[in-house]
C-alpha cells in the first residue's frame, strides 16, 4: 500500500453528454497525494457528473481515469474511496450510531475491520447528542453532520469525493470541516471537492473550472 | 464476507422492525383476500376444498408482489446504495442479505398465519406439512424474483406495477409446482416429486438472481 499512496490519479479525454448536451469535452487533469482539487462552474456544468465518474458511479462517453497505469476505480485493490454526494447515504430507519457502524463495515476491504464509531473519536461535528436517534427524525443539518462524520472513519490515504459538503451546515461545523479537509491533505490523502460558497481562506492546490459550454 | 452479509441482514431486519406497519398491512391484505375468496366461493359441498389451495396461493402472491418495488427504496433514495457501489463489498452478497431479510420479515409471518387460513378454507389439517414446505419454497423463489424485479425498476415511475408485471409471469413455475404438491397431498399421492422440482427452481434462482440483480443495480446507478 505504501507505493499505492504515491501514485497519481489522472484522467484524459473525459467527455460526457447528457440529454444531447455536451457537459464537458476532452477533460484532462491529475491529482497527486496530499492534493485538493476544487471543481468550479455554474449549476448544471457537470460538477456532480464528473465526481460520479471519479467514483465509478457513472461512465464517461469517452476518456478514462487511471491511477498511474492501473484502471480506476478498482474497488478491491485501488485506494480506498470516500463518496459524499447530495444524498447523505444514511438509512432512515437506523440510528446514527448504527449507520456509522454500517458505513465502517462497508468501507472495510477483505474483512479488515474499520472500527465503528466510538464516542472517543474526536467528535468534531458534535453528533454525540443525537447519535442514538433514528436518522429519519433528524434535521438536514444534523444529517449532514452525521454524513460528514463518516470521513472520520476513513483511512488517511483515501480519496475523498465531496459534493457540496457545506450544504445545511452551521458555522461551527463549517470550521470543523475546513480543519478536517486540511488535515486529510496534510496526512497524504487527496480529494476532489465542489463548494458553492468556499470560505475566504480556502486554498485548494488545484482548480478545475467547468464552463458548462454547449 | 460472512460478516458483511450478517451486518446487512441485521440492518435490514432492524429497519423492517422499526416500521412494522408495512408487514402488518401485507399480512392484513393476505387475510383479507383469503376471506373474500371464501365468501366468493360459497360454503356448499366440498367445492372450497377443491379450489381452496389455489385461493391460498393467489392470496399469497397477491399480497407479496405489490410491496416489491419498495425493496431498495430506502437504500436508493438515501444514497446508501451509492455508498455500497463505491465500496469494495460484493453487490451480490448485499442482494442475498436483502432477500434473506425480506423473507424473514415478510414471508415468514405469512407462513405463520397460513395454517389459520387453511382452516378457513376447510382444507384438511393433514395437508399442513406439505403446504408449509411448498409455500415456504414458493415464497423464497418469489422474493428472489422480486429482488430482481425491484432492481430493474429502481427509480422508475409506476415501479410497483412494472415490478409486478415483470415478476408475476416468471413466478408461474413456482405457482404450478407449489399447487401440484398440495393437490398430490390432498389426493394422498406422493408430493415429494413436486416439492423437489420446486426446490430445484428456487436453487436455480438462488444462483442467477444475486448476480443479475447486482448488475442491474449498478446499471441503474450509472444511468441515474
C-alpha cell at B12: 435490514
Cβ contact B1–A83 (<8 Å): no
Cβ contact A89–B85 (<8 Å): no
Q: What is the 3-state secondary structure (H, E, C) of B138-178?
A: HHHHHHHHHHHHHHHCCCCCCHHHHHHHHHHHHCHHHHHHH
Cβ contact A106–B1 (<8 Å): no
How far A134 CA lies from chain B's nearest CA (Å)? Answer: 9
What distance lies between CA B84 and its chain's CA centroid? 24
* Probe site for chain A from B15, B75, B86 (most A CB atoms < 10 A): B86
What's the pLDDT tens digit per position in B100-152? Answer: 999 999 999 999 999 999 998 989 999 999 999 999 999 999 999 999 999 99
A31 dihedral zone (left: phi>0; alpha: psi -120 to 50; beta): beta
Q: Which of A81, A83, A94 faces B15 most closely, judged by CB atoms?
A: A94
Kindly tell me if the per-residue pLDDT of A180 is higher than 90: yes
How far A200 CA lies from chain B's nearest CA (Å)? Answer: 30
Q: How many CB pairs under 8 A join A and B?
A: 81
Cβ contact B84–A83 (<8 Å): no
d(CA A91, CA B13): 12
What's the pLDDT tens digit per position in B190-201? Answer: 999 999 999 999
How far B197 CA lies from chain A's nearest CA (Å)? Answer: 37
Nearest CA in chain A to B79: A89
What's the pLDDT tens digit per position in A102-151? Answer: 888 887 654 444 555 665 557 889 888 999 999 999 999 999 999 999 89
What's the pLDDT tens digit per position in A67-112? Answer: 888 888 877 777 888 999 999 999 998 999 889 888 888 876 544 4
Cis peptide before A73 (omega within 30 of 0): yes
d(CA A16, CA A25): 7
Q: Which pLDDT belongs to residue A115? A: 54
Nearest CA in chain B to A112: B1
Cβ contact B86–A57 (<8 Å): yes
Give all strands of the β-sheet with A159-163 in edge-to-edge order. A81-84, A159-163, A190-194, A36-40, A206-209
d(CA B53, CA B86): 46
What lies within 8 Å, CB to CB, of A50 at 6+ separation is A14, A16, A24, A27, A39, A210
Cβ contact B82–A87 (<8 Å): yes
* Probe site for chain B from A4, A17, A93 (most B CB atoms < 10 A): A93
Give all strands of the β-sheet with A62-67 in edge-to-edge order. A21-31, A9-18, A62-67, A70-71
What value does the mean pLDDT take over residues A32-46?
Answer: 91
Q: Which pLDDT belongs to residue A198? A: 86
The count of other CB atoms within 10 Å of the CB of residue B70 is: 14
Cβ contact B221–A105 (<8 Å): no
DSSP A114: P
Cβ contact B86–A73 (<8 Å): yes
Q: Is the ipTM above a cut-off of 0.90?
A: no
Q: Are B139 and B103 in contact (CB under 8 A)?
A: yes
d(CA A34, CA A59): 26
How far B8 CA lies from chain A's nearest CA (Å)? Answer: 8
Cβ contact A87–B77 (<8 Å): yes
The DSSP-derived string for B71-134 is TTHHHHHTTHHHHHHHSSS-HHHHHHHHHHHHIIIIIHHHHHHHHHHHHHTT--GGGHHHHHHH
- Residue % of chain A over a pLDDT of 70: 90
pTM for this model (two decimals): 0.89
Positions of chain B with pLDDT lower than 70, given as ranges: 45, 224
The count of other CB atoms within 10 Å of the CB of residue A159 is: 24
Q: Which pLDDT belongs to residue B205? A: 97
Q: Are B92 and B213 in contact (CB under 8 A)?
A: yes
DSSP H or E stretch at residue B31 = helix B20-41
**Chain B residue numbers touching A91 (CB-CB < 8 A):** 11, 15, 74-75, 78, 80
* Chain A residues contacting B via beta carbons under 8 Å: 55-59, 73, 75-76, 80-81, 83, 85-94, 98, 101-103, 105-111, 134
Kindly tell me if the per-residue pLDDT of A203 is higher than 50: yes
Q: Which of A57, A76, A87 faces B88 most closely, judged by CB atoms?
A: A76
Amino acid at each position: 500500500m505504501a507505493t499505492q499512496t504515491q501514485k497519481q490519479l489522472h484522467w484524459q479525454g473525459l467527455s460526457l453528454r447528457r440529454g444531447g448536451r455536451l457537459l464537458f469535452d476532452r477533460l484532462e487533469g491529475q491529482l497527486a497525494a496530499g492534493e485538493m482539487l476544487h471543481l468550479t462552474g455554474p449549476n448544471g456544468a457537470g460538477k456532480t457528473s464528473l465526481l460520479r465518474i471519479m467514483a465509478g458511479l457513472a461512465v464517461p462517453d469517452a476518456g478514462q481515469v487511471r491511477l498511474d497505469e492501473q484502471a480506476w476505480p478498482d474497488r478491491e485493490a485501488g485506494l480506498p474511496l470516500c463518496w459524499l454526494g447530495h444524498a447523505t447515504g444514511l438509512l432512515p430507519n437506523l440510528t446514527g450510531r448504527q449507520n456509522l457502524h454500517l458505513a465502517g463495515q462497508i468501507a472495510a476491504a477483505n474483512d479488515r475491520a474499520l472500527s465503528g464509531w466510538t464516542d472517543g473519536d474526536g467528535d468534531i461535528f458534535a453528533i454525540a447528542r443525537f447519535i442514538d436517534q433514528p436518522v429519519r427524525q433528524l434535521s438536514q443539518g444534523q444529517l449532514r453532520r452525521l454524513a460528514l462524520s463518516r470521513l472520520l472513519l476513513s483511512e488517511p490515504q483515501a480519496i475523498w469525493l465531496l459534493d457540496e459538503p457545506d450544504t445545511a451546515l452551521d458555522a461551527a461545523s463549517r470550521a470543523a470541516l475546513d480543519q478536517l479537509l486540511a488535515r486529510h491533505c496534510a496526512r497524504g490523502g487527496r480529494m476532489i471537492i465542489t463548494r458553492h460558497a468556499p470560505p475566504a481562506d480556502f486554498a485548494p492546490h488545484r482548480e478545475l473550472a467547468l464552463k458548462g459550454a454547449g | 464476507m460472512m460478516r458483511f452479509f450478517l451486518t446487512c441482514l441485521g440492518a435490514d431486519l432492524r429497519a423492517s422492525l422499526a416500521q412494522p406497519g408495512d408487514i402488518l398491512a401485507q399480512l392484513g391484505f393476505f387475510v383479507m383476500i383469503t376471506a373474500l375468496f371464501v365468501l366468493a366461493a360459497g360454503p356448499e359441498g366440498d367445492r372450497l376444498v377443491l379450489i381452496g389451495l389455489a385461493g391460498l396461493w393467489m392470496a399469497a402472491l397477491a399480497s407479496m408482489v405489490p410491496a416489491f418495488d419498495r425493496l431498495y427504496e430506502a437504500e436508493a433514495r438515501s444514497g446508501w446504495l451509492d455508498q455500497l457501489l463505491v465500496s469494495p463489498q460484493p453487490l451480490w452478497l448485499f442482494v442475498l442479505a436483502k432477500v434473506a431479510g425480506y423473507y424473514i420479515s415478510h414471508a415468514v409471518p405469512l407462513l405463520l398465519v397460513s395454517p389459520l387460513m387453511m382452516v378457513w378454507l376447510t382444507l384438511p389439517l393433514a395437508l399442513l406439512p406439505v403446504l408449509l414446505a411448498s409455500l415456504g419454497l414458493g415464497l423464497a423463489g418469489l422474493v428472489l424474483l422480486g429482488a430482481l424485479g425491484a432492481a430493474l425498476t429502481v427509480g422508475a415511475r409506476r415501479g410497483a406495477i412494472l415490478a409486478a408485471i415483470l415478476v408475476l409471469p416468471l413466478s408461474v413455475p413456482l405457482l404450478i409446482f407449489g399447487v401440484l404438491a398440495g393437490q398430490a397431498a390432498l389426493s394422498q399421492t406422493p408430493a415429494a416429486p413436486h416439492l423437489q422440482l420446486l426446490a430445484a427452481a428456487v436453487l436455480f434462482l438462488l444462483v442467477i438472481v444475486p448476480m443479475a440483480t447486482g448488475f442491474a443495480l449498478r446499471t441503474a446507478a450509472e444511468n441515474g
